[in-house]
Amino acid sequence: MLGVGAVFLKEVRTEWRTRVALSGVGLFVVGALVLLGLGLKQAKLDRLTPGALVWVLALFTAATGLGRAFVQEAERGTALALRLYASPNAVWLGKFAFNAVLLLVLNLLTAPVLFSLLELDLASVNVGILCCVLGMGTLAIAAVFTTMAALVAQTTARGGLLAALAFPLLVPAFQAGLNGTKAALGIGLEGVKSSAWQVAGADLAMLSLYTAAAVLLSLWLFDFIWND
């Protein structure tokens, strides 16, 4: 477990030296928000649309920002040193932790901005549910993207392929997250006996199951691509 923290700290430090990923993906998010705000300025949106756009934006942010994790090791020639130093599981978990934290910060910042840009009444949002669902969904996205980034880093295509591999696999998490967001926005709760938390609880359970499966599977399979 010591290795995991060390790999995570190494990721943070190398990122902090250049801040390329952070500024790149940060500017991507700002640009996307401007485009969404401008494009939907005069559209009459229902309450569900901002909720769905948060998830679409989260997936695109991941596709933009999380691909670098293993590419830079290959480019700088540091993969071998990391291989000697840490176990494959520690490497995967450290990278996953870094990706998850990066994505979590971005998503928790963009969601309220997007909601206010699209003129959703912020007071009517159940913040607790939204944070839980978005947090859990972010873990699922980060887990799948970390493994797919490790695969893509070995190819000549790199850029475009990451989203093609990860998006279809992430559809179950997307569906569950979207349903939980609906509960946080109070959609579809009329005439339902259970409370918003109970409705979202089923989605949270689904997201946890998905994330656990993705993490365990990644830990099992990562050895084969890392030690080649």
Which residues lie below 8 Å from residue 122, measured CB to CB, with a gap of 6+? 112, 115, 116
Q: What is the Cα–Cα distance from 59 to 38, expressed in whole angstroms?
A: 20
- Residue type (1 letter), 99: N
- Residue 228 CB, nearest distance to other proteins (Å)? 6
- Residue 202 CB, nearest distance to other proteins (Å)? 8
Q: What is the Cα–Cα distance from 91 to 5, expressed in whole angstroms?
A: 10
Closer to other proteins at the Cβ: 47 or 158?
158
Closer to other proteins at the Cβ: 16 or 224?
224
Alpha helices in 40-125 (DSSP H): 48-65, 68-76, 79-85, 88-117
Spatial contact of 29 and 113, defined as CB atoms under 8 Å apart? no
Which residues lie below 8 Å from residue 191, measured CB to CB, with a gap of 6+? none
Closer to other proteins at the Cβ: 29 or 58?
58
- Residue 201 CB, nearest distance to other proteins (Å)? 14
Closer to other proteins at the Cβ: 85 or 167?
167
Closer to other proteins at the Cβ: 101 or 189?
189
- Residue 197 CB, nearest distance to other proteins (Å)? 18
Closer to other proteins at the Cβ: 107 or 147?
147
- Residue 97 CB, nearest distance to other proteins (Å)? 20
Closer to other proteins at the Cβ: 53 or 106?
53
Q: What is the DSSP letter of 194?
A: S
Q: What is the DSSP letter of 187?
A: T
- Residue 98 CB, nearest distance to other proteins (Å)? 21
Q: How many CA atoms lie within 13 A of 200 on its CB side?
A: 25
Which residues lie below 8 Å from residue 35, measured CB to CB, with a gap of 6+? none
- Residue 152 CB, nearest distance to other proteins (Å)? 8
Distances (CA, A) of 73 to 52, 81, 225: 34, 10, 14
Enumerate binding residues for other proteins (CB under 8 A): 147, 151-152, 154-157, 161, 164-165, 168-169, 171-172, 175-176, 178-179, 206, 209-210, 213-214, 217-218, 221, 224-225, 228
